[in-house]
A and B are shown apart, each in its own frame.
Chain A
Amino acid sequence: MGQTIIEKILSNKSGKKVGTGDIVVAAVDFVMGQDGTSPLAINAYRAMEGQKLFDPSRVALVIDHSSPSPLEGVSNLHTLMRDFSRETGCKMYDIGDGVCHQLMLESGNIGPGSLVVGADSHTCTYGALNAFSTGVGSTDLAGALISGKMWFKVPETIKFVCHGTLPSGVYSKDLILFLIGQVTADGATYLSAEYTGEAIGALSIEARFTISNMAIEMGAKAGLMEADEKTFDWVKRYGGSGFTAVSADPDAVYAKVLEYDVSGLEPQLAKPHRVDNVAPLSELAGRPIQEAVIGTCTNGRLEDLRIAAGMLKGRRVSPDVRFIIAPASRDIYVQAMREGVLETLVLAGGAVVTPGCGPCVGTHNGVPSDGETVISTANRNFKGRMGNRNAEIYLASPATVVASAITGQITDPREFVSR
């Protein structure tokens, strides 16, 4: 019987042929924690009487969620992480370096066939590099830090086949929001997702990251794609080598196969307060917004900032809108600076904040006030997510966010974009 991508990766990493439902203890290639989860993982490491890391060169801690620290309590936990890094010799990414997931993607350590665990639910992002990467809690992470292994139940796979070509002004964010709306927030729970079809193949690697990033929003354990030239180009650009593509067998068995033609898709938004509460833009156009955010591990990449700058050249955002930009990494920040992208965004009325998670997680960098509406490129719009339970959050593509920032209301980006 043929195998899915995740069955193959888990077979490779556990040293035996495994199938759906098997419990495996698999070797991990890389382990990552961020500042919301690492302090508890360090506690768990001590409780496990950990003496050393399985391999310090394959462990990274990242300060990105509350970065730079806005509070003394946060500062003390950051210091706990820095001390642990010095003690164990693992890689430490500090303030200004960027969002953990973008840093992992840019590390050269992760590529086709890799197995990565991270104490952050959006670790599934690296699925776009044909890697099985998944989010775990702090105690599981501590187990991986010590042993270099993790236990998994081999999941069934749900396959999304996307045919056709995305229309101009419609992006991978619109596609993944649409798919989440179709299957709902628990439509892929305990399952691995595979995204395939010519519409996925046509996407840039950065656009693919957006899709895999949001696999968790349908409950999935992984959001995998097949490797192609774009995948290997990305990995090579960051010094990665020695990876081998992992493809699903033609006779692999799937829990479900869903096929869509994306050629007629219009821009999509997730409405408050659920990511699967998705509607086409035409149903929402005209709603006033007070804050617009571009950034996060979903859409804070160079391609996203270029789209924003392309639309804002010679324009300004509405005086009634606060426009916040959080580049996903230092590398992206510098490149956007060199290209004049940041200059355009700042002159258009934008406020650039430190590379990192920005205002997405509700600790700082743009907490909305009571009764306000935010439009954001992030991946979650739960009540209170941005720090105020009395505000509303819409999720959309960078183009829709920028179009809405210009007019001060939810606006179709196709009025501003031409490809």
Chain B
Amino acid sequence: MEFKGHAHKFGDDINTDYIISGKYKFKTLDMNELAKHVMEDLDQDFYSKITAGDFLVAGRNFGCGSSREQAPLAIKYAGLSAVLAKSFARIFYRNAINTGLPVVECDTDQIEPGDELTVDLAAGVIHNMTRGITIAVKPLPPVMLQILNDGGLAAHFRKYGEFKLDQEENDGL
């Protein structure tokens, strides 16, 4: 899976309230509607700045705060192809994998706002075309990879009817 787009950059500790505010999420399950309000409290015009395929780039602890799964869904439905961050909060990370939003742990100091990137998830590498550099990606923990390869947790359950995971030593979450 390779994605190409531009970087929209935010700082550290972006919480799920900022990703999608509580005042919207209780109203509807229409994710296209929620997507229009993605990151609104930090940048009111953010949705209109997104071109399909773009990346949300952030610092440490992306997705901290509430457990709302509307957060990864709003990002996905807004047309963003992946989130790149130095680190992720754990509930958000699980939710992103479960709902099929690629989350990539890497050194985002090497990405500036507007940079053009290609992200190759299978090869685990990011090319910053604007700066002509390659950025290493921390591999997904095997258990997460297994869920992704099954097509997400819902597909995993349709296949097995329960959590059927390799329970060996894993690196990551």
Task: Identify the A interface with B (CB < 8 A).
Answer: 21-25, 35-37, 39-40, 43-44, 47-50, 65-66, 71, 73-74, 77, 119-121, 123, 135-140, 142-143, 146-147, 149-151, 153, 185-186, 189-190, 216, 219, 221, 274, 361-363, 380, 382-385, 387, 389
Contacts and interface: CB of A to CB of B under 8 A. Distances in A.
B61 A185 contact: yes
A383 B39 CA distance: 11
Nearest to A49: B158
12 contacts: A21-B171, A65-B22, A121-B67, A136-B91, A137-B68, A139-B95, A150-B163, A219-B64, A380-B66, A382-B18, A383-B41, A384-B21
A93 B90 CA distance: 28
The 3 residue pairs across chains A and B that have the minimum distance between CB atoms:
A137-B95, A73-B27, A48-B157
A380 B61 contact: no
A15 to B, nearest CB: 11
A71 B27 CA distance: 7
Contact of A136 (B94, B141, B169, B173): B94
A189 B89 contact: yes
B36 to A, nearest CB: 15
A384 B157 contact: no
A149 B156 CA distance: 14
B60 A186 contact: yes
A135 B41 contact: no
B69 A25 contact: no
A385 B17 contact: yes
Contacts of B56: none
Interface in B77-131: 87, 89-91, 94-95, 98-99
Contacts of B154: 44, 47-48, 139, 142
B61 A219 contact: yes
Given A140-B94, A387-B22, 20 more contacts: A23-B143, A23-B165, A23-B170, A36-B68, A40-B29, A50-B157, A73-B26, A137-B91, A137-B99, A140-B95, A143-B162, A147-B161, A151-B143, A186-B64, A190-B173, A380-B15, A380-B17, A382-B65, A383-B42, A385-B22
Contacts of B27: 71, 73-74, 77
A384 B24 CA distance: 11
Contacts of B171: 21
Contacts of B99: 137, 139
A349 B71 CA distance: 38
Name, among A22, A73, A146, A149, the residue most crowded by chain B CB atoms within 10 Å (CB to CB): A73
Interface in B131-173: 141, 143, 152-154, 157-158, 161-163, 165-173
Contacts of B48: none
A126 to B, nearest CB: 15
A245 to B, nearest CB: 27
Nearest to B25: A36
Nearest to B42: A383
A232 to B, nearest CB: 29
Contacts of B94: 136-137, 140
Contact of B61 (A22, A189, A362, A385): A189
B64 A25 contact: no
Contacts of A36: 22, 25-26, 66, 68
Interface string B24-58: 01111100000000001110000000000000000
A66 B166 contact: no
Given A140-B94, A363-B23, A153 B172 contact: yes
A22 B158 contact: no
A42 B128 CA distance: 40
A139 B98 contact: yes
Contacts of A146: 157, 161-162
A66 B21 CA distance: 13
Nearest to A47: B154
B72 to A, nearest CB: 8
A361 B161 CA distance: 34
B18 A186 contact: no
